[in-house]
A and B are shown apart, each in its own frame.
Chain A
Amino acid sequence: MITGDEAGFDAFVAGRSAALSRTAYLLTGDHHLAQDLVQAALLQAAKHWGRIHTSPEAYVRRAMYHQNISWWRRRKVAESPLSFHDGAAAAPDTDLRLTLDQALARLTPKQRTVLVLRFYEDLTEVETARALGISAGTVKSTSRQALARLRALAPELAELIGADA
């Protein structure tokens, strides 16, 4: 028998999973990780549905942001140190979309998450700070550092992100 809670959860998943998928892909840069991220966040939502059913999307998104950073911490020991990537990356593909996609993959998860929230989710600095539980000043400085890093990684993106943004 399907309960009201289950029906509400199913409706939420049906209505929002596509949007959540897009955000998850931007956060992770990987289809498989995006799938894992969405599933893990929705599983948490189902687990705590009684408490969060009035505003599930905010809960799920916050779970995705934090889960992604948490996974990254566990993965980072196997990754190259960030300094290794600080030189400009070769970008044979001239398509800006692919170049940006590749450059985003080399940001820290915090930088990447702030950019996604600010420029994809269209959140203000205050809303981004609220979603991530950090100060608006940290959002601003992280955003500035992330854009500077994108410029260093892929100079061909300068037109896209500005020379001194």
Chain B
Amino acid sequence: MTEELRTTLHRIADSAPPVPVGDDLWQRGRAARRRGQAFAVAAVLALVVSVGGIATLTATSDREARTASSEVVEGGAIPRNIVDISDDLAVTTDLAVGLGSAAFISRFGDPVVITATDGLPHRLALPGWDQTPTALAMSNDGRTIAYQDGSAESGTYLTLVDLETGRSVRAFSDDSQRLQLSELSWSPDGRWLAWIATTQDGLQALLGRVQSSDGRPRQVRVPSDAASVAVADDGSALVGLATGGLLMAEPGRGAVSVFSGPGVEAGAFSPDGRHVALRTSATKSSYTWDTDAGELLEHAFPADTLEAVELRPLGWLDDRLQVLLAQDLRGSAGELVVTTPEVGETSTWRRSVGYVAPEIANSVSLAVDLIPDLDGTSSQLLTHDFAGPRRDSSWIIGLGVAAAIGVLLALRWLWRHHAR
């Protein structure tokens, strides 16, 4: 069947004439790069000069007004809007960027960390990062990221980076074969890291676990369609199969089937290890696996809220509340939802907690420990709007932007005038 589909697709593709490619692509690309760099420098200068000047003028009446770029949140926070980086963001070679709030792989395959206190993105120059997308995951406390290190031609390596010191350590090495780490998952306390490793032909899969403190990895064979993994604080792992079904693997043991049925995959363990928030596709409910009772719990979305969505758990706030990323089936922006495993008298369901751009929604991981405890009100903000002013200083920003535009136009005019 697939062979006929493959053949027909090739016939369609072969019938398409080759598209002409411009001779000047290289020059245009390099010119665009130079323009981007020059524009970035000019924009920074213009903003610094204009905003700084206006701030000085208004210092007596509003001296504490600050713009988003200089805002610092004590202790850190998750940004309310997590967006992809711009093409021209400079690469950061010093990996000691500080506590992180989110990590993701940009649309062009770059590893990115957003720092927790200022909400700024950093395009990291991770040693051995393969430009094609590889696994990247941030621990719940935002202190460490883990990624597949492809620095050697063959072999499989997993590296941890301490974002506060910038120090890298190898958490796992296998010089014998090149595996693809398709999933990386931290335990809630950040002591365990689990992964699904698949051979290049996709015929074999391994569940790997390592305790970050002792560095002794363990791998056990799992079915080849293992597609997701969650790990608990005691090292127990739940594996989800793409064809449906969940497997549980106690530390040091093989995986045994605990649930058969399509539509759910492993997501994230609760801190007490009792529950696992599950990934789902095209559902109007969230699902949680109760490891004690061995049963599936359902929390239907409230009426008139979300349509059928793909849900990806990003972690738990405590033993009761899970953070889910909901994305509709058309691939629009992801929406952060905080909810409980089941509907009940004390259950919670809060949407619009934050948003994640569609390009990065599949790879984003969050430092969920930065989300504050719920205070019981519906107006409490669980994420921080780094883009917004802290006080009503919109008129200053407006003037600053206007001045910046003026300076940029003047620079552009000078540039063109000079070019003639």
| Residues of chain A at the chain B interface (Cβ within 8 Å) | 6, 9-10, 13, 17-18, 21-26, 31, 34-35, 38-39, 42-49, 51-52, 54-55, 58-59, 62-63, 66, 69-70, 73, 76, 82, 96-97, 100-101, 104, 108-110, 115-116, 119-120, 122, 124-127, 129-141, 145, 159-162, 165
Question: Once bound together, how far apart are the Cα atoms of A63 and B329, in whole Å?
Answer: 21
Are A39 and B362 also in contact (CB < 8 A) when A130-B182, A138-B310 are?
Answer: no
Which of A17, A66, A119, A140 sits near B359, CB closer than 8 Å?
A66
Instruction: Tell yes or no: B413 within 8 A of A by CB.
Output: no
Residues B33 and A47 in contact, CB atoms below 8 Å apart: yes
* Chain B 388-414 residues near chain A, CB threshold 8 A: none
Residues A138 and B1 in contact, CB atoms below 8 Å apart: no
13 contacts between A and B (CB under 8 A): A31-B17, A39-B21, A45-B29, A59-B131, A73-B332, A110-B331, A122-B6, A126-B198, A133-B133, A133-B363, A141-B242, A162-B2, A165-B1
Are A131 and B132 also in contact (CB < 8 A) when A17-B19, A124-B202 are?
Answer: yes
For residue A20, give the distance in angstroms from its CB to the closest CB of chain B: 8
List the one stretch of B102-110, B164-172, B298-306 in contact with chain A. B102-110
Are A34 and B8 also in contact (CB < 8 A) when A6-B26, A133-B362 are?
Answer: no
Q: Which residue of B lies closest to A134 (CB)?
A: B362
Are A26 and B134 also in contact (CB < 8 A) when A69-B331, A165-B1 are?
Answer: no
Question: Once bound together, how far apart are the Cα atoms of A47 and B332, in whole Å?
Answer: 28
For residue A24, give the distance in angstroms from its CB to the closest CB of chain B: 7
Which of B26, B131, B183 sits near A51, CB closer than 8 Å?
B131
Does more than half of chain A's interface fall in helix, strand or loop, or is it mixed? Answer: helix
Instruction: Tell yes or no: B9 within 8 A of A by CB.
Output: yes
* Chain B 197-253 residues near chain A, CB threshold 8 A: 198, 200-202, 225, 227-228, 240, 242-243
Instruction: Tell yes or no: B96 within 8 A of A by CB.
Output: no
Are A46 and B29 also in contact (CB < 8 A) when A24-B19, A38-B19, A97-B11 are?
Answer: yes
Question: Once bound together, how far apart are the Cα atoms of A127 and B350, in whole Å?
Answer: 35
Q: Chain B residues near A31 (CB, 8 Å)?
A: 16-17, 19
How many residues on the B side are at the interface (Cβ–Cβ under 8 A)?
66
Are A131 and B32 also in contact (CB < 8 A) when A17-B21, A18-B18, A125-B202 are?
Answer: no
Q: Chain A residues near B200 (CB, 8 Å)?
A: 124, 127
For residue A15, give the distance in angstroms from its CB to the closest CB of chain B: 12
Residues A160 and B359 in contact, CB atoms below 8 Å apart: no
Residues B9 and A119 in contact, CB atoms below 8 Å apart: yes
Residues A22 and B242 in contact, CB atoms below 8 Å apart: no
- Contact digits for B1-40, partner A, Cβ 8 Å, 1 yes 0 no: 1101110111111111111111001101110110010000
Q: Chain A residues near B198 (CB, 8 Å)?
A: 126, 136
Q: Chain A residues near B331 (CB, 8 Å)?
A: 69, 73, 108-110
Residues A140 and B29 in contact, CB atoms below 8 Å apart: no
Question: Once bound together, how far apart are the Cα atoms of A47 and B91, in whole Å?
Answer: 14
Instruction: Tell yes or no: B144 within 8 A of A by CB.
Output: no
Residues A130 and B134 in contact, CB atoms below 8 Å apart: yes
| Residues of chain B at the chain A interface (Cβ within 8 Å) | 1-2, 4-6, 8-22, 25-26, 28-30, 32-33, 36, 87, 91, 105, 107-109, 130-134, 180, 182-183, 198, 200-202, 225, 227-228, 240, 242-243, 265, 279, 281-282, 310, 329-332, 358-360, 362-363
Question: 8 smallest A-B Cβ distances: which pairs?
Answer: A46-B29, A124-B202, A25-B16, A137-B227, A22-B13, A162-B1, A35-B19, A136-B227
Residues B107 and A66 in contact, CB atoms below 8 Å apart: yes
Question: Once bound together, how far apart are the Cα atoms of A6 and B310, in whole Å?
Answer: 43
Residues B108 and A48 in contact, CB atoms below 8 Å apart: yes
Q: Chain B residues near A17 (CB, 8 Å)?
A: 18-19, 21
Are A100 and B12 also in contact (CB < 8 A) when A17-B18, A38-B19, A161-B1 are?
Answer: yes
Residues B227 and A132 in contact, CB atoms below 8 Å apart: no
Question: Once bound together, how far apart are the Cα atoms of A44 and B87, in whole Å?
Answer: 9
Q: Which residue of A lies closest to B197 (CB)?
A: A126
Not counting A126-B198, A160-B1, A162-B1, a sample of 18 additional A-B residue pairs whose C-beta atoms are within 8 angstroms of each other reads A10-B26, A17-B19, A21-B19, A23-B13, A35-B19, A35-B20, A44-B108, A51-B91, A62-B108, A66-B359, A73-B358, A120-B10, A122-B6, A132-B362, A133-B105, A136-B198, A160-B8, A161-B1
Residues B108 and A135 in contact, CB atoms below 8 Å apart: no
